[in-house]
Amino acid sequence: MKLVSILTAAAMLLCLAACAKNEPLGNITSDTAAATDAASEAGTDYTSEKSPTDVTAEVTAAPPSQESGDGLTPVYDDSAVVEAYLSNDVTELDEKQSAIYEAAVGALSEFYSDSMTDEEAVIAAHDWIVTHITYDENMLLAIPRQSEDTENPYGALIKHQAICMGYTTTFQLFMDMLGINSKVVHGSAEDEEHAWNLVELGGNWYHVDTTWDDFVPDEDGRQPFHMYCLVTDNVMKTNHVWDAENFPKADSLDRVYYKTHGLYAQSSDDAEEMLYKAYFNGEDYAEIMYDRTLDRYGNVSLEGVSFRFASQYWLNDFDDYIVVIYWMQ
């Protein structure tokens, strides 16, 4: 299979300085010294307490959160488009709003059906955004410059490029069209401006960060990941900052994607079975959530069956649990 692109040392350091989050990608290997040397040659220090045992110079990172301009990026007002959708009357929309409306209605027809629960609709909207939108590549340059409209649904839905506010307001638009209670959270991540959503399901609130689930470098056809889909305040506080007093509390673990989709490993046998299924189903990646009581980094799965079926891994260490993404062989 095609593995994640190898960044050059200079580009990697730039990306890390601007946008790295969670843990670096590592090869599943017993040669710890060689892996550490590879990282050292790239000028990267992966010897911190949270780093996995085995690492290489290959890195997968979140898009940078920094938006352009002075002050905070404005939040797109979707009320005209939502009203047009609910009333089935588009006569009051201007040209750009009409384009957003048509694209949003087309997207809903692809991922949504009336038989869905609100939870299913939230996950479907998340997955559609992550698989159809890419991060504005101009923001990844040595001197970042934001492309036009990438902070709103026009850039996301028409040009298929966005910065975090574009991802967030597109998700918000979908939720408003579907009548699912959702809010835009305007805060920061890695000390830079960032935005994401809070969504209400069954009386509880959950965070959804589509930008951070669409980490760079992106690849055509890559399956969606769910590290920041329906998660708690504790998970977000690992690397996000916001004025929590002005937003609903999100403290329920009952809808964490991995728990509701059979990807929660409470034993080494669980993890091995999940990797086995992913391999024989021809999946390029496997996501597994580990109970923290198993092992600090879930290393029960980095040997044995995973050595045969997975070539690389990416650790995401949260307070409540650990998520490991595996690149299947």
> For all residues of the chain together, what is the average pLDDT?
78
Residue 131 in this model has a pLDDT that exceeds 80: yes
The residue ranking higher by pLDDT, 215 or 278, is: 278
Q: What percent of the chain has pLDDT over 90?
A: 53
Q: How confident is the model at residue 49 (pLDDT cuts 50, 70, 90)?
A: very low
In whole angstroms, what is the distance from residue 258 CA to residue 225 CA?
10
Give per-residue pLDDT as tens, 241-293: 999 999 999 999 999 999 999 999 888 788 888 988 998 999 999 999 988 77
- pLDDT, residue 268, reads 79
Contact assessment for residue 327 and residue 284, using Cβ atoms and an 8 Å cutoff: yes
Q: What is the pLDDT, as a whole number, of residue 266?
A: 86
Residues 72-104 pLDDT 10s: 788 999 999 999 999 999 999 999 999 999 999
Q: Which position has the token pair 């595996």?
A: 326
Q: For residues 25 and 115, which has the higher predicted lDDT (pLDDT)?
A: 115
Q: 299 CB contacts (<8 Å, ≥6 apart)? A: 53
What structural domains does the chain harbor?
9-64+262-328 (no CATH), 79-246 (3.10.620)
For the segment 20-30, the average pLDDT, to the nearest whole number, is 42
Asked if 26 contacts 297 with a C-beta cutoff of 8 angstroms, the reply is: no
Answer whether residue 52 shows pLDDT above 60.
no
pLDDT, tens digit (0-9, with 9 covering 90-100), for 99-128 = 999 999 999 999 999 999 999 999 999 999
Torsional sign, CA 164, 252, 183, 123 = positive
pLDDT of residue 269: 81
Note the pLDDT of residue 61: 44
